[in-house]
Structure 1
Amino acid sequence: MLGTFVLRYIYQNPDSQPFIITAQAQLFAIITKLGWLENEEFRALVDQIQVFFQPGNPIAYRIIGARILTAVATEMNLPSARHATKYRKIAVSFRDAQLLPIFQFALSTLKSLLQASDAESEKLRESILQLMKMCLGFDFIGTLPDESSDDVGSIQAMTTWRIVLEEPEYLDVLWECWKKFSGATSVLAMESLSQAASIRRSLFSSDETRNTYIHHIMRETSLTIKSQAGQAKLQDVGNFHEFCRMLSKFRSTFQLSEICEYKEFEQWISLIGEFSSRGLHSWKWSPNSIPYLLTFWSKMVSSISSAKQATQDYIQGITVDLSRAYLKSRLECAQAVLDGEVDDPLESEEELVTTLEMYATLSRSKYVDSGRFVLAEFKDIFKKYRELIQRASLGSPSLSGNDIKEQLTVVEMQLTWMVYMISALIGGRISYQSTGEQDQMDAELSSEVLGFIQQAQMWTTQRPLYLASPDAHLYVQSAILFFYTQFRSSYIGEESSKSVKVYTLLTERWGLTGPNQVLDVIMNSSLGNLRSSGDPEWRKQEDQLVVRTLRLYTQLASGYSSVKHIRKLDTTKALLKNHNPSDFRFLDPSKKSSDTSVARCRMNYYTMLSRVLFAEDNVDADFWRFVRPWELTLDQVTLAFEGTSDLTEEQIRLILLGIFKDLRGFVSSITNRKQYTLFFDWFYPAYTPIVVRAIEIWPHDELGIAILRFWHEFVSNKSSRVTFDSSSPNGILLFRETSNILYTYGQNLLNRPLSNSSARWTEKYKGIMLYFNVLSASLSGKYVNFGVFKLYGDKALDQALEVFFSLMLAIPVEDIIAFPKLANAYFSVIDVFASDHMTGLPMMPHPVLAYIFQALGEIIPPQNPDTICSTMACSAMDKICTFVLNWILKDKVRKEEGLEALQAASGSPDLTGRTLLTSAGSGNNSQRSSVELTRGALSSNGRPVSKHRQQQQQKQQETHWLVEYLMANKDILSYLFLALFQAVAFENRSNYWSLSRPLLGLILLNRDFYNEYINGFIQSQLPDRQEHVQTAVNALMEGIECNTTTLNRDRFTQNITNFRRECTQMTLMTSNGLSDDSGML
């Protein structure tokens, strides 16, 4: 066997280079995994590796053996996108049969190494600890998608592991290893202890056993913190970090009520508090450990209500000190960042907010005491800030420009931290738990922050340029925006009327009597963030500030009550009247940004304004005032196109690029018919010629992309907003314009050469994707009767579909699959097209049909987390199969009626007609003859019929082109069936219900192939499994009739579910049903 050969090679060459041994170990692991279910020898893993641990062998062999076992455990734990069910089955088998013996072997080996001190033993200890870490880190129940999940949840070890984990020896060995080992090996031992601290609670056989385990860990952590030896070990940054991580995981796994049962709990929690306080004060030494300490204490506090009152008071007393320590550490951080000692945590607001949420939970435990300290610190720093501003304004001779700038920057950063922390405290309010004292503290803190905001705004407009810092400005303003966000979440909303104490104090100090006045402050103070200084050095920071400000505005505009008040503010009214000021740099289309969030600011801005504008019911006059600037600009463009304007081509292009981004954002938030009709009546038909003309002139440019994106939003019937009166032709006219735009743009795409294949997305596929999106939205909008175009000879639909087919054929199928956005657009439009439009066409080109069916089949096998494409493909397949099957069934009924009429008229004996369903595998001629079997001029009751009725009957009896195509190309049905059957039956898909829906139609349309495939599939299995597979397969079509009724479909889906369950219990060989070619699934 190949595995034995590899193992022998490793054993005979122990002196090989480490990378060679590592590669050989990985090879052995892969071979073992592939053969695990097929041969018993592969499952005797521990026995095979035992040769490396024979008495008398050098330690080097034992190190290699440990590394091989680690490689196998690692390989077994790796997920697989393809054949996920099979490989998960292998992992489960390995887990049940070998993982525990390997862990037990590693633990006993580690115990024997406690007294060894030579260098080789040190390497072996490290290898053994790595092996143990891999064993406990195994994905026991298949729920960990990646390594990032390591700090989330508990270790779901099987109940069989009780025999090891419940024994005191397990923890004793790990703690002893940590105490005796040094360096990296010591850190590995602490990592193992972190895993031990996160063993699932339900593993233990009894409450007593679990409590013993918990108390063992608590006792050892107390000894570690108290003893000099333990303190010495924790001076190593790696050990300190892992110890903090162990505490966090311990508290996340076990309940506070269980922890409190420890007889020396108060001493233990006091020691942890002292240790945490030292860690927070020494934050520079191990900054990454701080989140683990905060996690431990935030979880302690979050469940404190379940503890006794004395315990609650004791823990709350500790949290006040820790809250102070963390606040001090953040103030020190401001100076350390300026000195270049540490990275700036303010650069990543997302990570910062996560940490601050835990700080808020911790501090609000005893909020009055913690809040007073925060308030006092804020007042002291704010006082320094005002003094520095005064000295800078007066030009103090005792300080140079650089000195005062440095001091101001440090104080501003400290105030930034204070505002962030105060905001988190306010945002951490839980309405049903909050007391009057806590609301009073929120009011005092908010009042101080509002004072700082006022001072900061005044200083921003007055300070000399040499004292300004773009980073400091960004951080200060971001903290202020965060304060507004958190205050809004806690005190602006439906529950705001209950927060009387907050607004009482704010009324006394700032005249803010309620939420509406606070919203006024928010809009007035933050509007300046949208303006640009024009300084290139400030551009990056100002762009980020615009993004964050618009994010706040979007939240405000999304609230039902807040948007109605914002609509009434003078600031908002002025913005609606002049929504394109020159100092809003993000509205300048010539100023491009590679940052996607910055590039979308213009659209987000007008989305927000649209929501605000339509917050009231009667807004007709306001709407026409709002669009007036756009009218003036578009009229200028129209004149330019007519040759009567001084605008250059580039100016026109930039103007239109900006306007269509604005319009896209504006239309995207329109949610009802009245709003949409207002916009439609303004835009159509006055400005649609501009769209077509711009597409003709700049099809290669980003302007073409912007226009199509706007048009996609314009024609999308979200919330049934595109609804016209029954006598209105607007729906038809809208599609005619859509067709004109698509035809113009599509023809250019077809004639556009590619500069190189690597640029095909930007130069071609991106535009095709948008073409598909617009067509999909138009075809599914339900505001157009597409039959009108055929009735009156209008080519609008035909030309749109003609270009659609040509664009489709211009893309290799593999590229459709390779580009996710393109695939999503393509299968979306195919799903819509298959609903009604496909079968209504008089004919489709066969290359197009072949392409569609090939793409539908090829999207099924790839297992992607995003299952949207395969779901839409299956929906399209189901619609096509349902149509064909229903047509054949109706045709069969018509033939039977015709035969009965002939028999009744001639008195001839019963004739047997062949139908398409019973002529599987026959050629096209036999199919056509079966369809044309009876073409008489008699009705079903044998009476003569009129010539018009004869023509109508003859037309009904003609074979539909789609039916004819599929019956003549049954290999397509076979191809689709194979792709779906294998995915549904043998792969772990989240959308297997959708995948199963087209299978019924594919089987009924191609029953002969299904029987042939199933027979081959059964014969390809191992002899001892064939009977079981036969039983499962027979049940698949049990109770299934030859129709597509909902009841029949549901019954088939249930059968598929049962069949799939049976298949997961076996390892099966898959067959194509036509040849001996087979492979493992």
Structure 2
Amino acid sequence: MVVVVVRLVYARMSEVLGITDDSRVLETFMTKIHNDWENAKNFAASVNSLLKRLVKIDAVKFMLQNHTCKHFPFLGISDNYSLSDLRCRTAFYTALTRLLMVDLGEDEDEFENFMLPLTVSFESVTRMLNNSLKQEEAKRMLIGLARDLRGIAFALNTKTSYTMLFDWMSQRLNFDVSSPNGILLFREASKMICTYSNQILSLGTLSKDQVYPLKLKGISICYSALKSALCGNYVSFGVFKLYGDNHFDSALQAFVKMLLSQYRKLSQSYYPLLECLTQDHMSFITSLQPHVLMYILTSISGGLTAVDTIVSSSCCASLDCIVTYLFKHIAKEGKKALRSRETSQDGQRLLNFMQHNPEVLQQMMSILMNMIIFEDCRNQWSVSRPLLGLILLNEKYFSELRATLINSQTSSKRQVLEQCFRNLMEGVEQNLLVKNRDRFTQNMSVFRRDVAEALRSEGAADAGSLDMMS
């Protein structure tokens, strides 16, 4: 039946539009989209107007008020649907909630009515969980409801509407100055991350086709959830330690366990999370066992040269935070000012680690210099930020790198390169203040251009033989 309909559609399209194959169909669609977006302002306005008319249709009103398994069988419990089929429920509720958002505004009663079918479903799950004979049904129903809530949360893109969802989930969670919503939410997220990490790490050997769906995908979601919590600015993490609450430490330890299990295939979620940790939680980073800290630094080193600019820039930001933290600690120790003992111990642990493993930062300096001089560096600003700190912390090694490059050239080019390196550090002071960083970034831009011209000039050595910094 479907094949017959498709043939009829293609026959009609051939008569009217002269389209005879699927490639032309796709090309026509894309051309239409492109032409519509050439006048984006009018197009967006017409779409908005269309949505407002759409939600007034009786069929749409009926969907918003009756999204139950009685009218939509895929929302029910059935052995005809696999667990993977339940993901369509996320897309369904995302679309449905976006329609709700058109005229929702601040109408809490309308939102409550929309959520009523889910309220009833959660009450049913509770009853099932108390019945040992219906555990499998409860599992499928709970997974489906989680898919539904995920779709709804995606579509609630305003503070007012998102607050309504929190109010529906728990009356204690309100985005109010006096409300502990951030802490309460993170505690639940921490429980979820810890429980899941324990389960996932207990899995035995998996086949290649099972690794992603059963392990990597879940770890990636945990990374993303933790990263959102750390960067969301709605949790005062110092409160956990102050009142002896271990939910924050437990979540971080779960991250470490999953990190040691797998990170290379999860770069899109791992590196942004690591950037958040190095930015605001260096005390945790410095408290790690040496082999774990080495593992993290090695992962940063490997990510610096990633083809994905987002990953590379994230690694540069993480490295900059670590280098800046270490530089400030050394500067404070040099001044011998009175500091809190805890802060001093955190910095001293990192300093001791670097003193025993000087090659770690030296290698990363080599990688960054290599990127600036020999490669098409697309994130030059990001690279410049940690590079200045590395140079100030390792001036001797920087001098060795400079001598290696200059001495590999013919005598006629050495003087030019020496001037390039002098210009790189011209006006740069021994600090990591923003003004000084900006000066170094400007110098580096000129340095990169001048060195490239010198190496391209007649008489320069082969570029491959100059790459002695990797």
TM-score category (smaller protein): 0.7 to 0.9
Alignment of 1:249-288 (within 5 A): none
Distance 1:606 1:353 in 2: 26
Distance 2:17 2:446 in 1: 60
User: 2:199 — aligned with what?
Assistant: 748
User: 1:436 — aligned with what?
Assistant: none
User: 2:297 — aligned with what?
Assistant: 853
User: 2:108 — aligned with what?
Assistant: 620
Q: 1:350 aligns with which of 26, 42, 49?
A: 26
User: 1:1011 — aligned with what?
Assistant: 399
Q: From the superposition, tell whether residues 347 and 584 of structure 1 become closer, same or farther in structure 2 (CA, over 3 Å).
A: farther
Correspondence 1:830 to 2:274: yes
Partner secondary structure for residue 336 of structure 2:
helix
User: 2:367 — aligned with what?
Assistant: 979
Distance 1:989 1:599 in 2: 43
Contact 1:996 1:1053 in 2 (8 A): yes
Deviations 1:484-539 (A, max 9, x none): xxxx94xx947xxxxxxxxxxxxxxxxxxxxxxxxxxxxxxxxxxxxxxxxxxxxx
Q: 2:168 aligns with which of 647, 657, 682?
A: 682
Deviations 1:34-57 (A, max 9, x none): xxxxxxxxxxxxxxxxxxxxxxxx
Q: 1:608 aligns with which of 85, 95, 114?
A: 95
Distance 1:726 1:328 in 2: 62
Query: How big is the shift at 1:834?
Result: 0.7
Query: How big is the shift at 1:796?
Result: 0.2
Query: How big is the shift at 1:592?
Result: 5.5
Distance 1:584 1:987 in 2: 56
The letter for the 1-side match of 2:26 is E
User: 2:218 — aligned with what?
Assistant: 767
User: 1:36 — aligned with what?
Assistant: none
- Which entry has the higher C-alpha Rg, 1 or 2? 1
Correspondence 1:739 to 2:190: yes
Q: 2:118 aligns with which of 621, 630, 637?
A: 630
The letter for the 2-side match of 1:880 is I
Deviations 1:562-614 (A, max 9, x none): 444444443332211112354546656854599xxx98643232122222323
Query: How big is the shift at 1:1078?
Result: 5.7
Contact 1:1069 1:1078 in 2 (8 A): no
Unaligned runs of 5+ in 1: 1-326, 335-342, 362-426, 433-487, 495-555, 687-721, 896-949
Distance 1:333 1:564 in 2: 31
Q: 1:992 aligns with which of 380, 394, 406?
A: 380
User: 2:149 — aligned with what?
Assistant: 663
Q: 1:572 aligns with which of 57, 60, 64?
A: 60
Distance 1:988 1:1015 in 2: 23
Which fold has the larger relative contact order, with Cα–Cα distance below 8 Å and residues 6 or more apart in sequence?
A: 2
Partner secondary structure for residue 988 of structure 1:
coil
Partner secondary structure for residue 851 of structure 1:
helix
The letter for the 1-side match of 2:336 is R
Q: From the superposition, tell whether residues 600 and 331 of structure 1 become closer, same or farther in structure 2 (CA, over 3 Å).
A: farther
Q: Percent sequence identity over matched residues?
A: 31
Contact 1:828 1:872 in 2 (8 A): yes
Distance 1:884 1:1059 in 2: 26
Distance 2:417 2:195 in 1: 56
User: 1:280 — aligned with what?
Assistant: none
Q: From the superposition, tell whether residues 768 and 332 of structure 1 become closer, same or farther in structure 2 (CA, over 3 Å).
A: closer
Correspondence 1:869 to 2:311: yes
Q: From the superposition, tell whether residues 1009 and 562 of structure 1 become closer, same or farther in structure 2 (CA, over 3 Å).
A: same
Correspondence 1:673 to 2:115: no
User: 2:231 — aligned with what?
Assistant: 780
Partner secondary structure for residue 869 of structure 1:
helix
With normalisation by structure 1, the TM-score equals 0.39
Correspondence 1:1063 to 2:451: yes
Q: From the superposition, tell whether residues 355 and 1046 of structure 1 become closer, same or farther in structure 2 (CA, over 3 Å).
A: closer
Q: 2:287 aligns with which of 843, 850, 864?
A: 843
User: 1:253 — aligned with what?
Assistant: none
Distance 1:797 1:650 in 2: 32
Query: How big is the shift at 1:854?
Result: 0.4
User: 1:1022 — aligned with what?
Assistant: 410
User: 2:333 — aligned with what?
Assistant: 891
Contact 2:89 2:147 in 1 (8 A): yes
Q: From the superposition, tell whether residues 331 and 765 of structure 1 become closer, same or farther in structure 2 (CA, over 3 Å).
A: same
Contact 1:346 1:352 in 2 (8 A): no
User: 1:728 — aligned with what?
Assistant: 179
Q: From the superposition, tell whether residues 1070 and 980 of structure 1 become closer, same or farther in structure 2 (CA, over 3 Å).
A: farther
Query: How big is the shift at 1:1042?
Result: 0.9
Distance 1:823 1:667 in 2: 25
Contact 1:607 1:668 in 2 (8 A): yes
User: 1:233 — aligned with what?
Assistant: none
Query: How big is the shift at 1:894?
Result: 3.0
Query: How big is the shift at 1:1079?
Result: 5.5
The letter for the 2-side match of 1:345 is D
Q: From the superposition, tell whether residues 806 and 953 of structure 1 become closer, same or farther in structure 2 (CA, over 3 Å).
A: closer
The letter for the 2-side match of 1:873 is C
Q: From the superposition, tell whether residues 788 and 1071 of structure 1 become closer, same or farther in structure 2 (CA, over 3 Å).
A: farther
Q: From the superposition, tell whether residues 1063 and 736 of structure 1 become closer, same or farther in structure 2 (CA, over 3 Å).
A: same
Distance 2:469 2:51 in 1: 59
Distance 1:805 1:429 in 2: 48
Contact 2:324 2:432 in 1 (8 A): yes
Distance 1:953 1:605 in 2: 54
Contact 1:1016 1:1071 in 2 (8 A): no
Distance 1:1078 1:493 in 2: 55
User: 1:792 — aligned with what?
Assistant: 243
Contact 2:275 2:317 in 1 (8 A): yes
Deviations 1:365-419 (A, max 9, x none): xxxxxxxxxxxxxxxxxxxxxxxxxxxxxxxxxxxxxxxxxxxxxxxxxxxxxxx
Distance 2:219 2:171 in 1: 26
With normalisation by structure 2, the TM-score equals 0.85
The letter for the 2-side match of 1:745 is Y
Q: From the superposition, tell whether residues 979 and 586 of structure 1 become closer, same or farther in structure 2 (CA, over 3 Å).
A: farther
Distance 2:402 2:219 in 1: 40
Partner secondary structure for residue 743 of structure 1:
helix
Correspondence 1:649 to 2:135: yes
Partner secondary structure for residue 1064 of structure 1:
helix
Query: How big is the shift at 1:431?
Result: 12
Query: How big is the shift at 1:842?
Result: 7.0
Distance 2:328 2:176 in 1: 34
Deviations 1:208-258 (A, max 9, x none): xxxxxxxxxxxxxxxxxxxxxxxxxxxxxxxxxxxxxxxxxxxxxxxxxxx
Contact 2:69 2:76 in 1 (8 A): no
Unaligned runs of 5+ in 2: 1-10
Alignment of 1:191-230 (within 5 A): none
Partner secondary structure for residue 960 of structure 1:
helix
RMSD: 3.6
Aligned residues: 452
User: Which stretches of structure 1, 4 residues or more, deviate above 6 A after TM superposition?
Assistant: 355-358, 427-432, 1068-1072
Distance 1:779 1:1070 in 2: 47
Contact 1:1032 1:1062 in 2 (8 A): yes
The letter for the 1-side match of 2:224 is N
Contact 2:374 2:463 in 1 (8 A): no
Q: 1:331 aligns with which of 9, 15, 22?
A: 15
User: 1:881 — aligned with what?
Assistant: 323
Distance 2:242 2:469 in 1: 55
